[in-house]
Homo-oligomer: A and B are copies of this chain.
Amino acid sequence: MAERRTRADAVSNRVRIVEVARELLTTTSDLAMNAVAKAAGVGQGTLYRNFPTREALLTEVYRADVERLVASAPELLAEHDAVTALRMWLDNVADYAQVKRGVLAALEPASGHDLAGRAGPPGRRSGPVAGHAEPAVGHAEPAVGHADPTAGHTGPIGEAIDRLLAAGRDEGTLRADVDAGDVLLLLGFLSRPEAAGRARHVLDLILDGLRVR
């Protein structure tokens, strides 16, 4: 008797939200939550129940792309040496960042709003403030303030990178003191608009720094 079927309208709402969001992102890269709700023809509450954070929504929007990207890493490793595979994979990421204008940008931490208090006397103040769902690509759990031990769960993208790095380490062609977190930090430049024409070139520099001398 468990596993009750979700209502049909609920399902269609969810997919419509994602579709609309994807479409809006081709134009705006900003993605105002209110705008998504309006464009999808649902109340804000519906939007928020389905996607408690903007990250959650973006994760869903780009899920297929991220999976493709992740899946390509072992495929490239099967046919090329690690350095070449890494290079090709990074080019894929760059292309992806190019096309999906603002994906990486949209997934950025969203800054402030975590000061807990605001000291507001009037109003609601009930649930937890928000709480960062896992981002689809790059930069997981900042754990603000203290450097977290166990360092790095960086999500599926991070695992793909680690696979490429490990292969290079085994070959002796990539530095052993580099992990996915380092690479993700370096890749952050792709989210900047100034990276437009230079992505390839900067990737050259990065890759050069990752190789053993």
A198 interface hit (Cβ, 8 Å): yes
Q: Is the CB of B185 within 8 A of A194?
A: yes
Listed stretches A54-62, A72-80, A105-113, A121-129; interface member: A105-113
A2 interface hit (Cβ, 8 Å): no
CA of A211 to CA of B36, assembled, Å: 47
Q: Is the CB of A201 within 8 A of B213?
A: no
A95 interface hit (Cβ, 8 Å): no
A208: chain B residues within 8 A (beta carbon): 208-209, 213
Closest Cβ of chain B to A177, distance in Å, is: 7
Identical copies of this chain, number: 2
> What per-residue 1/0 map shows which CB atoms of A20-48 lie under 8 Å from chain B?
00000000111000000000000000000
Chain A 93-109 residues near chain B, CB threshold 8 A: 102, 105, 109
Q: Is the CB of A188 within 8 A of B192?
A: yes
A102: chain B residues within 8 A (beta carbon): 111
CA of A194 to CA of B153, assembled, Å: 12
A15 interface hit (Cβ, 8 Å): no
Specify the chain B residue showing the minimal Cβ separation from A105. B111
A202 with B189: in contact, given A112-B30, A213-B213 (CB under 8 Å)? no
CA of A177 to CA of B196, assembled, Å: 17
A205: chain B residues within 8 A (beta carbon): 175, 178, 182, 186, 206, 209-210
Q: Is the CB of B28 within 8 A of A115?
A: yes
Closest Cβ of chain B to A79, distance in Å, is: 25
Partner pick for A186 among B29, B144, B206, B207, CB 8 A cutoff:
B206
A197 interface hit (Cβ, 8 Å): yes
A71: chain B residues within 8 A (beta carbon): none
Sampled A-B contacts (22; CB under 8 Å): A29-B112, A30-B111, A30-B112, A102-B111, A105-B111, A109-B193, A139-B194, A142-B193, A175-B205, A177-B201, A182-B205, A185-B195, A185-B198, A186-B186, A188-B189, A188-B192, A189-B189, A204-B209, A205-B206, A208-B213, A209-B209, A209-B210
